[in-house]
Structure 1
């Protein structure tokens, strides 16, 4: 099976004005080997994939089938990084094709991820809506924000306007909500201008086309994937996330409280009957195991460098000791220590996280 040469994931305006798209997937499995991921999650033949002696994100090797990438460290995964599946926008469009051939949906894909490994981790998940009716223009949203006619969980928005040097005319506006480092970020842009540039045609030939993207990372991405494993209505899910984070309004001259302002009609018609889907997850307390894995991944090279210098100078342990002495442990650090030590038989009688209790036992 081969994916179509060009598949934007968008139906014609006669078939659908709003088309939801899963646009990027990155998920890690810790307990299963690469063949299991390909067979039980992607449900493809391992023979379709090409093995590469290189990887990304710290992985040593990779298997690749078109734009579907599976990263791993071989049989000896001492770092515990597991197997990482990545599908870019193109990879997701290709999986669209295979899912239809398999008589599966994206709901089935996400369900299979969690059925294989309950605690699989989605480090990135992008979902979007292609709007070929254009309920509003992106510059209108920018104008609303500048007028203060927005209620949002995001502190800031950023807009970029592409201009033609020949005559100074607009060649596409992009609006971001949320910072590049946040776990949830929106991007609204005029995709018709993007496609016109790629195809070398006038934007009028493309017609109206906006894209509204949601980029999620880590626990927020995982939470959204869980929702999508239970709900096949991707459009409703995407709208509900948008509705939870932002609302465009009409300014009231008689009421100073923005949350009571009426919703802007264009936005109201677009959101329609969507709910409010919060992706907030209360963070679980960090454990010693989390700290240990982080040390291996982030500081092992630096500590090894210090050790080699100490051995070369014949001052074994002096530099490391200075590093240790500069630490300033807080209550949460002692709590982490106690929670770990209480798992060991010789420390079962530990009753609290007092520093002197721990130091006295060291």
Structure 2
């Protein structure tokens, strides 16, 4: 067996966010997490408007978090959001094992209950004494632009770890922007852990992590593909194969025609590519609303509260002096037309 074949890699879920239209927490605990008898659940009140994305309450269970809304009004009916960060994913993996379930069956249970996946992070850990590659190699490839990728942005980030009057510097390379639906991150996990706990990085040994973060439609499609493939490692490598390729630059050749760097071929192995491309979502009221909530809600609330305190009307002035352009008038017409058609359909159903 060759040295490369003897090397082991750990592939893991590193972040999961799924939303549900229901705020029936008992249903989520019983049918999805299957921990309905867990007394460790703690509920925490959140002031209205100040919780994450406006949710009123949250419950936590070993780091697994459920944000939900109790109030049901025409304007506020958000349902619930289940979030597992990295450590919570590790905990839940143990729970799934004890329940004789898998991540794939958990994903299926979420979908059966109307779940909508909005974020999924997958990670590969290389803790071999001789890793497939060092993060410094990725950093050099990035600076030399020896990569072939559809991701438009990349950056290198330094990590500073101080302990006992000593300093260590870790490396991170990120492809994709902060708001991109696909983002790939290469970093020295040992330095991150060392910084967190105030220890030297060598105590953690070699620990390189490759993460791929998927959001919105990419996350939703990835879950569907994971259920179909039933193989975390092969699926994650296939995604990496599609979204980035490190190359050995040949001056006379375009990046797409350059040979793949041997370390990247060895790391990925013999995998096919998986494309998570979906048809581009058309401009819609729902899409605009989602963008507004994610990007503008805090500023909107700030202006509103200052107007309330000062007795001013900046917000009204902005609204009264903003006219919809042709594109936004079309979005309004389409939404109202669909709403009207839905009402007619419901009236027809009531006559049957």
- TM category (shorter chain) comes to 0.7 to 0.9
> For residue 34 of structure 1, what is the aligned residue in structure 2?
25
Q: CA deviation at 1:236?
A: 1.1
| Separation in 2, partners of 1:162, 1:308 | 43
> For residue 242 of structure 2, what is the aligned residue in structure 1?
244
> For residue 333 of structure 1, what is the aligned residue in structure 2?
329
Q: CA deviation at 1:179?
A: 1.1
Q: CA deviation at 1:162?
A: 3.9
Of stretches 98-107 and 51-60 in structure 1, the one that deviates more from structure 2 is 51-60
Shift in CA distance, 296/193, structure 1 to aligned 2, threshold 3 Å: closer
> For residue 43 of structure 1, what is the aligned residue in structure 2?
34
1:133-172 CA-to-partner distances (Å, cap 9, x unmatched) read: 3201110111122223211112232112346789998632
Q: CA deviation at 1:187?
A: 1.0
> Is the contact made by 1:306 and 1:320 (CA closer than 8 Å) also made in structure 2?
no
> For residue 11 of structure 1, what is the aligned residue in structure 2?
none
1:285-313 CA-to-partner distances (Å, cap 9, x unmatched) read: 3444666787899498589779989xx89
Shift in CA distance, 141/305, structure 1 to aligned 2, threshold 3 Å: closer
> For residue 212 of structure 2, what is the aligned residue in structure 1?
214
| Separation in 2, partners of 1:206, 1:164 | 13
> For residue 22 of structure 1, what is the aligned residue in structure 2?
13
Shift in CA distance, 95/15, structure 1 to aligned 2, threshold 3 Å: farther
Please state whether the residue corresponding to 2:96 is helix, strand or coil.
helix
**1:131 maps to 2:126:** yes
Of stretches 216-225 and 21-30 in structure 1, the one that deviates more from structure 2 is 216-225
**1:144 maps to 2:141:** yes
Q: CA deviation at 1:233?
A: 0.6
2:66 to 65, 70, 73: 70
Where in structure 1 are there 5+ consecutive unaligned residues? 1-13, 349-362
Counterparts in 2 of 1:97-136, with a 5 A limit? 97-117=94-114, 120-133=115-128, 134-136=131-133
| Separation in 2, partners of 1:290, 1:163 | 39
> Is the contact made by 1:21 and 1:127 (CA closer than 8 Å) also made in structure 2?
yes
> Is the contact made by 1:288 and 1:337 (CA closer than 8 Å) also made in structure 2?
no
Where in structure 2 are there 5+ consecutive unaligned residues? 345-352
Q: CA deviation at 1:106?
A: 0.7
1:101-127 CA-to-partner distances (Å, cap 9, x unmatched) read: 00011111111111111xx32222211
Of stretches 148-157 and 99-108 in structure 1, the one that deviates more from structure 2 is 148-157
Shift in CA distance, 76/335, structure 1 to aligned 2, threshold 3 Å: closer
| Separation in 2, partners of 1:198, 1:292 | 37
Counterparts in 2 of 1:278-317, with a 5 A limit? 278-288=275-285, 298=297
> Is the contact made by 2:159 and 2:192 (CA closer than 8 Å) also made in structure 1?
no
> Is the contact made by 2:283 and 2:331 (CA closer than 8 Å) also made in structure 1?
no
**1:171 maps to 2:166:** no
Shift in CA distance, 85/69, structure 1 to aligned 2, threshold 3 Å: same
Shift in CA distance, 290/263, structure 1 to aligned 2, threshold 3 Å: closer
Q: CA deviation at 1:261?
A: 0.8
> For residue 52 of structure 1, what is the aligned residue in structure 2?
44
Q: CA deviation at 1:31?
A: 3.6
Shift in CA distance, 300/158, structure 1 to aligned 2, threshold 3 Å: closer
| Separation in 1, partners of 2:255, 2:238 | 20
Q: CA deviation at 1:280?
A: 2.5
> For residue 266 of structure 2, what is the aligned residue in structure 1?
269
| Separation in 2, partners of 1:31, 1:164 | 43
1:202-232 CA-to-partner distances (Å, cap 9, x unmatched) read: 5444332210011222222222222223222
Q: Which has the larger radius of gyration?
A: 1
Q: How many aligned positions are there?
A: 328
1:328-361 CA-to-partner distances (Å, cap 9, x unmatched) read: 431463254145336537x99xxxxxxxxxxxxx
Counterparts in 2 of 1:1-20, with a 5 A limit? 17-20=8-11
Shift in CA distance, 304/262, structure 1 to aligned 2, threshold 3 Å: closer
| Separation in 2, partners of 1:208, 1:321 | 58
Q: CA deviation at 1:44?
A: 0.7
> For residue 186 of structure 2, what is the aligned residue in structure 1?
188
| Separation in 2, partners of 1:325, 1:192 | 54
Q: CA deviation at 1:196?
A: 4.2
